[in-house]
Structure 1
Amino acid sequence: MGAHLRQHPTDRGPANGDLHGSRTDNQPSGCRRVRDVRPEAARRRFFGCRRADDGSRESGQVDRRVVAGCWLLGAGGWGWLMGETMKICLAGTGAMGEIHVKALQKIAGVDIVAVASRTEESGNKFAEQWKIPFHSTDLQRCIDRPGVEAVILTTPSDQHADQTVMALAKGKHVQVEIPMSLNLRDAERIVDAAKRSGRICMVTHTRRFSSPHREIRKRIREGTFHLHHMVVETYFFRRTNLNMHGQPRSWVDSLLWHHGCHSIDLAYWILDEANFEVWGQQGPEHPSLGIPMDLTVAMKSRKGPLFSMAMSFNNKGPFGGFYRYIGEEETYKVYRDAMTDSEGKDVPLDGTPAFDRQDVEFASAIREGREPESSAQSCLPTMALLDRIDRVMQEGRVGQTGQARRVSQVVM
């Protein structure tokens, strides 16, 4: 999400590196390692040991300056070195760009050194406000700034796939805003590019990092909560092309592939289930925006739970995603980072904001050389579900003849 940016043809990335680091207690299960692309000198410093001229480790010779410079970020569980800053390029100066800046500024050892913008004016204003030393309307110039290790893309949804593939090919780790693409084919292209590059590619499936949804998932896995029905309402008032802050957009949002992606991913992630029966329908397209303004989606897990979602860009009133988890033991309601039970009582939760936890995970995965919790690979089943739902909706539109038409279930 964000502003349109110019982009040059992609280049090939650097050669493969070595593995580094070791598994930590708070590394998510099922993570795979990625190749370490830091210079050899940086890898030596990370382990805090001097090396002899022949490259062998000098036994017991730990550099005390390195030990003194180490720090630990509790939420991320990763140590780094004083003066060893992770340099990040941010693409996009819209609402999500600002959210990422605020989250990244809380992480020690991380510095935004360049921002790419749609216009010179917006870039200058954003860079001045957040004290970012370089800005340009040319994304590649920003990525090519000295020392840039990672890129965060908050650009328009239809640019995500090409920009992600380009940044990966240039040897950069990437965190791309949801959705990673607007079709399954491009999502698969991103996953392939990440595998070829050996770099980390993470998608901002922010609900995975939200304390209430994490708590629901934990209770289901522990067997203390048995889900019957997940009910989702997603509401916005978007009859004009404005973002969440009421500012004009240069691109048109997608109700299914963006906002629906959040909730479809939650169903998949919470239940660890991709084999849903799916059904969907959409209302008329907006005359000027050219997108359907209302959607209905239903899914049934082979494990039993149902998923029902109503979405609208026509709603006047409170906006956002409203979640109801109806279970055998209790019914929980979730809105943003708060959760209540059937009596309206607050459920005690870890108060870490989802956006903060998400960006810490990105930085941690890079430092630890592992796959992040919402890697592009782990989000691919969600994109496959969206593709199936989209096809059902399109088949329903084509088959309308003025009388009721049954839309066939699509089963994986």
Structure 2
Amino acid sequence: MPQKLRLAVVGLGRVSKSHLPAVRELADKMELVALVTRDEGKLRQEAEQWEGVKTYTSYDDAVHDPDIDAFLLLLPHHLHAEYSINALRAGKHVLVEKPMAMNVREAEQMVSAAGEKGATLMIGQSRRFFSPVIESIKRVRAKEIGDLININALLLAYMDKPATDWWKDDSKIGGFIIPLWGSHILDYILWAYDKLPLSVYAQGHSNNPNWSGEDEVAISLNFGEGQMANVLMSFNAGTRPADAEGLTGKRIWSTQNSIYERYVIGTNGIIQLKDEYELLVNGEKQDECDRTNANFTRQLEEFADAIREGREPLASGQEIIRVMKVIDACFESIRTHQVVTI
């Protein structure tokens, strides 16, 4: 492989606005060689911002381009497995947005394809890459608060309408709040405990006709040996800003208008994360970072470094299979109203 990673970005939807600046920031480690989307208008517009970039409306053509080493896949959830596997089988490295896939069966197929070709597969669990989050895990590993007993996570937010049309379609998104945000929270919990729970119990309901998936969720995880975790998420909470006529405003959720906290409880103290931007240990602030998209740069850098160093990246496909197992169990529990063992 050349010194710089030769990268293709697939998908130019809303999330690309966070990823593409990271590609530019890492110009010393990678080169954007191709953009891929079926939307010719978006393709032309974005290509104008990059010197010498190739453009493809056919993903199959891009996969067979020998000048591409790796793909950054920014696609609807139901395409994650298919597009990842196609690239991996062609010997390309893949960083795919979260959630990893629609279910654990697809996730296992992705990992198998990567293993067959010796390719790197990383999942875009981007919210791992804020410094307070990374520091919190270091302190958990160092047993600064003793042994873990419980992790409680709370997300209270308000979303009136989906940010993109495919979020309305359960066959493309695979639910709603669980894949959109629960995938981040569950990933953090499993990362902290570094193991799967023994069982999962979940309740979920949909209250908004603008989508079919769940927007109110309660999840309880039992890790055994007195260890547990609880997740409460709502897309029906938070301030509803008034418009010019004083009527309730319509808004797509943003972290600026929500409550998002995690409490990591140990036998000898407590760690608190306020969003991903502030870390407190036993009530005292230990770390804080700006509200920027720097996490996407750190994530992409980890991908490039892992490929160059021939190692598994943080949030590798093999690791994130655990998240998919828990997500599958959540939906089974919601459907059956039963505790699900893993």
Same fold (TM over 0.5): yes
SS at match of 2:88: helix
- CA gap 1:342/1:284 in 2 versus in 1, 3 angstroms: same
**Offset of 1:119 from its aligned partner?**
1.2
| In 1: Cα distance, 2:187 partner to 2:107 partner | 14
Letter in 2 for 1:163: Y
TM-score, normalisation: structure 2: 0.84
SS at match of 2:82: helix
Contact 1:89 1:143 in 2 (8 A): no
Deviates more, 1:291-300 or 1:139-148: 139-148
Find out whether 1:99 has 2:40 as its counterpart.
no
User: Where in structure 2 are the equivalents of 1:5-404 lying within 5 Å?
Assistant: 38=1, 84-107=3-26, 108-131=28-51, 133-226=53-146, 227-242=148-163, 248-252=164-168, 253=173, 254-284=176-206, 286-317=208-239, 318-319=257-258, 321-327=260-266, 328-341=268-281, 343=283, 345-348=284-287, 353-396=294-337
**Offset of 1:285 from its aligned partner?**
5.6
Contact 1:112 1:132 in 2 (8 A): no
Letter in 2 for 1:205: Q
Of all paired residues, the percent bearing the same amino acid is 26
**Offset of 1:121 from its aligned partner?**
1.0
**Offset of 1:174 from its aligned partner?**
0.3
| In 2: Cα distance, 1:162 partner to 1:170 partner | 13
**Offset of 1:353 from its aligned partner?**
3.4
| In 2: Cα distance, 1:386 partner to 1:309 partner | 12
**Offset of 1:349 from its aligned partner?**
5.8
- CA gap 1:395/1:115 in 2 versus in 1, 3 angstroms: same
| In 1: Cα distance, 2:184 partner to 2:192 partner | 12
- CA gap 1:289/1:201 in 2 versus in 1, 3 angstroms: same
| In 2: Cα distance, 1:115 partner to 1:237 partner | 33
Contact 1:217 1:271 in 2 (8 A): no
SS at match of 1:180: coil
2:248 maps to none
2:247 maps to none
**Offset of 1:169 from its aligned partner?**
1.1
Deviates more, 1:258-267 or 1:315-324: 315-324
| In 2: Cα distance, 1:341 partner to 1:111 partner | 40
Unaligned runs of 5+ in 1: 1-37, 43-83, 243-247, 397-406
| In 1: Cα distance, 2:14 partner to 2:95 partner | 16
Contact 2:278 2:289 in 1 (8 A): no
**Offset of 1:331 from its aligned partner?**
4.2
Unaligned runs of 5+ in 2: 240-256
SS at match of 2:219: strand
Letter in 2 for 1:355: F
SS at match of 1:225: coil
Deviates more, 1:190-199 or 1:215-224: 215-224
| In 1: Cα distance, 2:236 partner to 2:69 partner | 41
SS at match of 1:148: coil
**Offset of 1:167 from its aligned partner?**
0.6
| In 1: Cα distance, 2:96 partner to 2:4 partner | 21
| In 1: Cα distance, 2:90 partner to 2:259 partner | 36
1:202-237 C-alpha deviation (Å, 9 max, x unpaired)? 111223333222222222221211333322123443
1:26-65 C-alpha deviation (Å, 9 max, x unpaired)? xxxxxxxxxxxx4xxx6xxxxxxxxxxxxxxxxxxxxxxx
Q: Which has the larger radius of gyration?
A: 1
- CA gap 1:251/1:121 in 2 versus in 1, 3 angstroms: farther
Deviates more, 1:136-145 or 1:368-377: 136-145
1:254-292 C-alpha deviation (Å, 9 max, x unpaired)? 311332111111111111121332110011364342212
TM-score, normalisation: structure 1: 0.70
| In 2: Cα distance, 1:208 partner to 1:332 partner | 15
**Offset of 1:320 from its aligned partner?**
7.2
Contact 1:85 1:109 in 2 (8 A): yes
| In 2: Cα distance, 1:86 partner to 1:320 partner | 38
1:341-386 C-alpha deviation (Å, 9 max, x unpaired)? 554x531368893222211110011111121121101111221111
Contact 1:115 1:132 in 2 (8 A): no
